Amino acid sequence: MKIAIGADHGGFSLKEAIKDFLSREGYEVIDLGTYSEESVDYPDFGYKVAVAVANGEAEKGIIMCGTGIGISISANKVKGVRAALVTNEYMAEMAAKHNDANILAMGGRVITPEIGKRLIKVWLSNSFEGGRHQRRVNKISLIEEGKLEERS
């Protein structure tokens, strides 16, 4: 599986730690930057990963900034992206099972690399449950199309 990863300077060291981890676990990693601790703007990297996932270049994405907030907001502006900001294992599990999140967002100044790796493992090892959750995810797509009100 191809996984695109991206971070700003606040998520850079977490990105480096999870990059090695993902490669060791057998995933093909597409690193879209940033490539140093130099200050950059998180929307640039949230957007790059979001586009890679939305276009199918990568099956999933992982994005990181200081808190995970700015980069997840940015990624979620791209059609077809469901980026979930997670801080614990329960959220990582539900992001897969209930939200069918195709991008995981984390805060490099919020969690340790060890917790980050654990959250990624939990997210990648759980699957979307469908059913009532499919209906809800479909409604997210309707919001993207500006058509939710027609249906509710």
Cβ closest to ligand RB5, residue 27 vs residue 45: 45
Query: Looking up tokens 């730690």, which residue turns up?
Result: 17
Whether 98 is catalytic = yes
* Closest separation in Å from C-beta 7 to ligand RB5: 8
* Closest separation in Å from C-beta 112 to ligand RB5: 16
User: Rule CB under 6 A: is residue 63 a binding residue for ligand RB5?
Assistant: no
| Options 64-72, 95-103, 117-125, 141-149: segment touching ligand RB5 (CB under 6 A) | 64-72
DSSP string covering the chain: -EEEEEE-TTTHHHHHHHHHHHHHTTPEEEE----SSS---HHHHHHHHHHHHHTTSSSEEEEEESSSHHHHHHHTTSTT--EEE-SSHHHHHHHHHTT--SEEEEETTTS-HHHHHHHHHHHHT-----THHHHHHHHHHHHHHT-HHHH-
Cβ closest to ligand RB5, residue 62 vs residue 65: 65
Whether 65 is catalytic = yes
| Options 29-37, 67-75, 96-104, 114-122: segment touching ligand RB5 (CB under 6 A) | 67-75
Catalytic hit among 97, 98, 118, 121: 98
Between the alpha carbon of residue 152 and those of residues 130, 142, 145, the distances in Å are: 20, 10, 14
User: Rule CB under 6 A: is residue 47 a binding residue for ligand RB5?
Assistant: no
| Options 14-22, 62-70, 89-97, 140-148: segment touching ligand RB5 (CB under 6 A) | 62-70
